[in-house]
A and B are shown apart, each in its own frame.
Chain A
């Protein structure tokens, strides 16, 4: 079973896509240009502090708001290994799967976690934090297939005989 550990950044409830990346930066040409402005309305310094392999832990309804796919793309480009939240908004959820960003629903970790601490994720099984195990459920089969293919683009390339 795949396992990884990462330092945690804690965000609140209802972290919307305008917070993750404000509309004014959406016309920048690349995700690399945009990622510097990630989370700017809420925590302007955060994008420069996040390191590769870090994990975001948040409350309910993470990713609510617009359909902008730059939101999961930026989170991935900042090096975030996965987002653990009490719940996710619908469009953000699809967009994350399609881009191969791992999302984990877990109701209890958010209440216990402290920013800067490290957690260990065992995919489709549990999260370990300060000696306590937080169970997580596995994703439906059709979504696992998209993630396995490496995202929707790769799944379609395969369909079209390119990979």
Chain B
């Protein structure tokens, strides 16, 4: 019997030939990520548990992103506690203003194909874009992992998602993942792994795969996995070893569900308020007047996203009634977007460009909205009250759709 990617990673991690879905096993953790919102709680629990040292300080990464730059007086307390914790336990991997955690974990080279990674954020599923098993956990569990370097997990069943063909113009990987979440439902992949394959996936950049892995949690998935290929190797600046090369779903592997799409049939879509699985084609909502557009986040704040937006905005002006807020996912992305000219095109179109971070996506700073306002946004959640008051309507979309809407001042088909 063949194996799925997640089964191969877990079996390799625990030194066995095979594992079966439903088994409860203890894995050795390759990396952990903690962000600023939760570090005070992790630090508390870690000491309350009676640990006196980290299992491996070099494998832990601390990122300040949700509260950077601070917008409320108490926010800096999190940085102070984080810095104290890092100093006390010898953590060197601390990013104080470099960008969003999920962008940094792969961009800065912490995560490699085949790794087992946990983070104190639900969008930790992102690192599946390079073929790593990564998932979100709470701060108590993180404190225990920091002390022991291990965690119990249930081997998940796998849903195979095959996408063949070529995406039409104006359609991005974001549209595919939104469509999938709509088809599966917000709990359709709960406790399961999503495994992506097919010629459309092979043709994608790592950044496009990242947008899809990022949103796996929105269907409830434990993790999302892409087979590492030559693009992954180039992105991670490594040569794939035999184990990493083996990380593909076997033909005779057992899947609990198989979903197939033809890329040519994909259209630009929106997740409508206030459920991530309430998916409609953009054309059905055309003409809906909007107040703000957001291009950024750990889902869609990468260079290719900013370039796609710039191409649409070039030489044009954002609607005078719309605020377009653009947030690069990291400092590196920001610098690259400056170097290639995308940032100046976006600025000339009338956008507000903000510092890399999570602020607006999680409703803390940098463009929060009020009762009755509508926003088209490229992030991953449109929950009630997520980006301001509970009477804000959030429509999730791709960067291309978002840019087109910003010019028109209303929901518009590319």
What's the Cα separation between A91 and B121 when bound, in Å? 10
B interface SS class:
loop
Check A94 against B137 for contact (C-beta < 8 Å): yes
A interface SS class:
loop
Which residues does chain A contribute within 8 Å of B321, judged by CB atoms? none
> How many B residues are at the interface, by size bracket?
35 or more
Check B390 against A41 for contact (C-beta < 8 Å): yes
Encode A16-27 as 1/0 by CB contact (under 8 A) with B. Answer: 101100111011
**Does B222 touch A at the CB level, under 8 Å?**
yes
What's the Cα separation between A51 and B308 when bound, in Å? 52
Q: A156 to nearest B CB, angstroms? A: 4
Check B50 against A162 for contact (C-beta < 8 Å): yes
Check A18 against B383 for contact (C-beta < 8 Å): yes
Check A41 against B187 for contact (C-beta < 8 Å): no
Check B50 against A89 for contact (C-beta < 8 Å): no
Stretch at the interface among B139-147, B247-255, B338-346: B139-147
Encode B103-131 as 1/0 by CB contact (under 8 A) with A. Answer: 00000000000000001111010000000
**Does A67 touch B at the CB level, under 8 Å?**
yes
- Of listed A87, A91, A153, A160, residue having the most chain B CB within 10 A: A91
- Which residue of chain B is the closest to A140 with respect to CB atoms? B24
Check A64 against B138 for contact (C-beta < 8 Å): no
User: Residue B191 contacts which of A14, A60, A65, A90 (CB distance < 8 angstroms)?
Assistant: A90
What's the Cα separation between A60 and B72 when bound, in Å? 35
**Does A99 touch B at the CB level, under 8 Å?**
yes
Which residues does chain A contribute within 8 Å of B138, judged by CB atoms? 67-69, 91, 94-95, 98
Check B136 against A67 for contact (C-beta < 8 Å): yes
Check A95 against B187 for contact (C-beta < 8 Å): no
What's the Cα separation between A19 and B382 when bound, in Å? 12
Encode B75-110 as 1/0 by CB contact (under 8 A) with A. Answer: 101100000000000000000000000000000000
Stretch at the interface among B41-49, B157-165, B292-300: B41-49
What's the Cα separation between A88 and B74 when bound, in Å? 32
- Which residue of chain A is the closest to B358 with respect to CB atoms? A23
10 contacts between A and B (CB under 8 A): A27-B72, A27-B75, A29-B74, A61-B220, A67-B137, A67-B138, A90-B190, A94-B138, A153-B48, A156-B51
Beyond A60-B187, A156-B49, 16 additional contacts (C-beta under 8 Å) are: A16-B384, A18-B383, A18-B385, A18-B386, A19-B383, A24-B363, A27-B77, A41-B390, A67-B38, A67-B138, A68-B138, A69-B140, A90-B220, A94-B137, A157-B48, A160-B51
